[in-house]
A and B are shown apart, each in its own frame.
Chain A
C-alpha cells in the first residue's frame, strides 16, 4: 500500500512538472518584423524589440530573438537613473537563435545593455556600447546606476551564457558585468571610470570558462580583469589597472591562465587573491609582484612575469606559495620572489629560505618559449609537492590533480609518472626516475628508496636511517624520553605498546611532532612504572 502511495505521489509530481513545463510559452522577437502584434506568439507577429516581448512574458517563459542589432526599447528598472536596453525584470530566459555573432544588444551613452533580475537568463548575445553612468556626484546608498555597463545582475542567480560582452563602460564597478553567473562568455575592452570599486571586466560575479581580455579598471581600486569574483577555468589576458591587480583583485581563481596583465602598482596578474592550479606568465607591475602580490597560490606556475619597481619579486611579492614553480621571472631585485614571501614545496630560484620542502632545479617544461608549461617526463617537479597543499579540483588541463600518489609542483600534473617517488629526490641521488629503483635498498639499511624518500633520508648513506634510540628515564616530568633520528622537513607520530602480543599492539600517543635536524625527542609522561614500554616512530608530511 505504501509503495503504491509513493508511486502515485511520484507520478503526480511528474505530471505537475510536465504541466508546468508545458505551460511555459515562447515569445518571438525579430527586429525586421513587419507585423508586430501582441502577444508575439509566432515569427509572423514577432515583436521588434526585446523589451516588448518581456513585457508580456511570465516567469519561466522563453523570449526567442532573431538575428539583428537591437538598439531601441528598454527602460529603467526600479526607477534607477540608467536606462537598460533590455530590462529582464522577471525570471524568464532571453535567448538568441543564432548566437552572439548574429545578435547584438546595443546600449548608448546613457543606456546599459541588459538588466537581469533574480532567476533571469540571457543566452547568445553580443552586448556592446552599454553605459552605466548617472549622477555620480550623488550617492543613493545601494546605487546600481554606476555598476555593470554591459549587464547588471541582481544576484548570482541571474545567468549569462555564451555572450560576448565588449566595449561597455561603468563609472564605478564592473565595466562589463556586475554580479551574475557567467558561462562561456567573452569579456573584452570594457572599462571603468576614474574612481570606483574595480573590475574592468566583471565584479561580484562567478565566471566559468570565460575569457577576459583588454579590460581596464582605470582609476578604480583594482582589478582590470575582475574584482571580488570567483573564476573557474578562465583566461585573463592584457587587462590593466592604474592601481593594484591588472588581472584579478580580491578573487578566487581555479584553473585559470593570467597572461600579459598590467598594473601600475603591485600584482600585475593578481593581488589579494587565492589562486589554485593557475599559470601566470608575462604579467607586469610597476612597483612589486609582477605575477602576484599579497596572494596565496597553490600549485601554480609563475614564469616570465616582471616588475619594474624597487620592491622586487618579479614572480611574487608578499605571497604564500605552495607547490608552485617560480622561475624565469624578472626584476631588478629578487627576480622571482621577494623576501616577504613564504614558499613551501616549491621549485624556485634561488632556493627559498622562508618555508620548507623547496627545491631549486632545472625545470624541464615541455616548451617554455612557446608557453607550454607542462612538465617533461623527467622533470624534477614530478611528485615533488605536498598533497596537503594540493587544491581539490583538477589541474590546469582538467586532469586529476594527483597522479602517482603525490602531487607535482606547478599547475600541470604529469599524468603517468613511472616512479612514485619525487623525481627531484631521485635525481639528487643519481637514481633513475623510471621506477626501477623505487623499492631498491641501495645501502643495505633495510629501508628501500621509497621508505627513505618518505622519511626524508639519504638513500646512499647507511647511517641515514629512521631509528629509535634507547629511551632515557626522566624525572621532571617523570616518564621516558624517546629519541629518534630525524630531519627537519618531516613531522612524526609516536606509538607505544606495553604488550606486543596484544591486538593491536601499538597505540598512537602523539601526532604531528615537528622533526628537528639530527634527532627529535618526545617525553612520554605516561610511561611510569616497570613497563615494559615499546615504541615506534612513523613519518607524516
Chain B
C-alpha cells in the first residue's frame, strides 16, 4: 500500500471513490441563539409568563438550520433568567422528535452547559427541551432566556472510520496522480 506502483488502477479508482464517499472531511460548527421567530414555548396551565415551565410536557423549542444537513455534535449553553424552582426539574432534549439526551435544572441554577453526540439529518434541526416531571403546586418555575444569552452550537465531527476511509481515499488519489506523472 505504501508504494503506489504496486497499486492496480482498479484499486486506485476504488480508493478515489472513498474520498467522495467519506465527505465531509472537516469539522464544521454553526452557532445559534435561542429566541426570535424560530423559538416557541409551551406551558399547559395558561397562567404563566413568557418562557416559564414547570409541568411535564412543557417545553422550549427552537428550529435551527445549519449549513450542513448532517450533524453529530450538539452543544448547548442554557441561561435561566428566572429560576425560582423549589425542586429539581428533569428535562430531555429531542432533535426532530428523537431523543438526544437528558439533563436537569436544580433550584437556583442559573445556567447549564450541555454536550451531546448523535447523528441527525436535517436540513432543519428542531431542538426541543422538554420537562419530564411536574413541580408540585406552589413550588414555582423556571424560564429560559430567549434574548440571545442561551446558545446552541451544532457541529459535524468526522467519525474514526470516516477518517480511515478518507485517508485511504487520499492515498489512492495520490497514487493515481503520481502514476500519471511517471508515465
Contact = CB atoms under 8 A, between A and B. Distances in A.
Interface residues of A, number: 23
B101 interface: no
Contact of A141 (B54, B55, B107, B143): B107
- State the majority secondary structure of interface residues on A: loop
B77 interface: no
Contacts of B46: 55
B54 A142 contact: no
A79 B49 contact: no
A79 B46 CA distance: 11
B68 interface: no
A488 interface: no
Given A76-B137, A145-B138, A140 B86 contact: yes
A143 B139 CA distance: 9
Interface in A430-468: none
B49 A140 contact: no
A75 interface: yes
Given A89-B47, A144-B84, A78 B138 contact: no
B107 A78 contact: no
B45 interface: yes
A138 B47 contact: no
Interface centre among B50, B82, B85, B140 (most CB of A within 10 A): B140
Given A81-B138, A140-B140, A76 B86 contact: no
Interface residues of B, number: 23
Nearest to A87: B47
Contacts of A90: 49
Given A76-B137, A80-B140, A135-B138, A142 B52 contact: no
A154 B54 CA distance: 18
Interface in A79-109: 79-81, 87, 89-90
B156 interface: no
A142 B138 contact: no
Contact of A75 (B47, B50, B84): B47
Interface in B11-62: 45-50, 52, 54-55
B176 interface: no
Interface string B71-87: 00000000000111110
Contacts of B139: 79, 81, 140
Given A87-B47, A89-B49, A117-B49, A79 B141 contact: yes
A78 B80 CA distance: 14
A55 to B, nearest CB: 6
Given A79-B135, A145-B138, A140 B107 contact: yes
Contacts of A134: 138
B138 A76 contact: yes
A140 B47 contact: no
Interface of A: 55, 75-81, 87, 89-90, 117-118, 134-135, 138, 140-145, 154
Q: Which 7 A-B pairs have the closest CB atoms?
A: A81-B138, A78-B141, A142-B84, A79-B54, A140-B86, A78-B52, A79-B141
18 contacts: A77-B49, A78-B49, A78-B141, A78-B143, A79-B54, A79-B55, A79-B137, A79-B138, A79-B139, A81-B139, A89-B49, A117-B49, A118-B49, A134-B138, A140-B85, A141-B84, A141-B108, A142-B83
Given A80-B138, A80-B141, 16 more contacts: A75-B45, A76-B47, A76-B137, A77-B47, A77-B48, A78-B49, A78-B140, A79-B135, A79-B138, A80-B140, A81-B139, A89-B48, A117-B49, A140-B139, A141-B107, A143-B140
